[in-house]
Amino acid sequence: MSTHVVADTATLTGRSMRHIFRSTDTIITTAVTPIALMLLFVFVFGGALKQSIGSENYVNYLLPGILLIAVASGIAYTAYRLFNDLQSGIFERFHSMPIARSSVLWAHVLTSLVANGITLAIIFAVGLLLGFRTGAGPLAWLAVIGILLLFTLALTWLAIIAGLSAKSIDGATAFSYPLIFLPFISSAFVPTDTMPGPVQWFAENQPVTSIVNTIQALFAEKPVGTDIWVALAWCVGILIVGYVFAIIAYRKKVS
């Protein structure tokens, strides 16, 4: 990015973040559902599920999947904010001003990363209160943060496509529902080998399982094996596809 683009993006990101901090219920709302699920699985299902994972600390096993659900839920608000900007005419106003056109999109992307980062920090804090513990070192933590950041960025570009293409506010946010559901058919809550054949095959070959397995291994100080490369391939692949189609949809809107 040129200095001009960076400055414009920073200004527009500040505008979006001010809107979020004026209505903190957005971040609270995105955190409430994952936290409620965590409480449900720990205190209602946790006793039975401990046997299937062979561990006394179910929170450690559960937390990575909850974090991914939080991201999938949070990016719906990115599509919502973008759709609202389009409907309010603010896009046309920005494009009539001497600012870089790409900064309008990048501001929404950066806002998504910051807002979701705050939500994940809240969920981590609740996880610690529930008993989450790890001896992971700084490099493992950096790897976890990097994977969550890449996953958030990849899904954010999918949200950009939805926000630009939707005909209604419901349509702008509905795309996130399958993404929120994916962790339930993965290794996030129980090992995949406890599932029936076709379900197990799907669970082992969708992106969430490799990401969850990688984060679980990093927190448990175990070898990540090939899962980390599969997780990165999924995230980068989704990011590239999402970015390309988002730019195409954006150009159609502003042409």
Contact 234/210 with Cβ under 8 angstroms? yes
Task: Give CA–CA dist 156/153, Å, rounded.
Answer: 5
Determine the longest span between alpha carbons in the chain, in angstroms: 61
| Structure token pair of residue 172 | 């702008």
Task: Give CA–CA dist 78/75, Å, rounded.
Answer: 5
Of 145, 153, 158, 137, nearest to 64 by C-alpha is: 145
Contact 69/157 with Cβ under 8 angstroms? no
Query: Any idea where the domains of the chain sit in the sequence?
Result: 3-254
Ramachandran area for residue 195 (φ above 0: left; ψ -120 to 50: alpha; else beta): beta
Q: What is the pLDDT of residues 134-170, one digit of tens each?
A: 888 999 999 999 999 999 999 999 999 998 888 888 8
Query: Which amino acid, one-letter code, is at 100?
Result: A
Contact 127/60 with Cβ under 8 angstroms? no
- Statement: residue 206 has pLDDT above 90: yes
Task: Give CA–CA dist 157/27, Å, rounded.
Answer: 19
Mean pLDDT of the residues in the chain: 85
- Statement: residue 207 has pLDDT above 80: yes
Q: What is the pLDDT of residues 71-103, one digit of tens each?
A: 999 898 888 888 887 777 666 666 666 566 667
Task: Give CA–CA dist 160/250, Å, rounded.
Answer: 9
Task: Give the contacts of 59 (CB within 8 A, at least 6 positions apart).
Answer: 38, 42, 127, 130, 131, 132
Angstrom CA distances, 66 to 34, 35, 148, 171, stand at: 6, 8, 12, 24
Task: Give CA–CA dist 178/39, Å, rounded.
Answer: 22
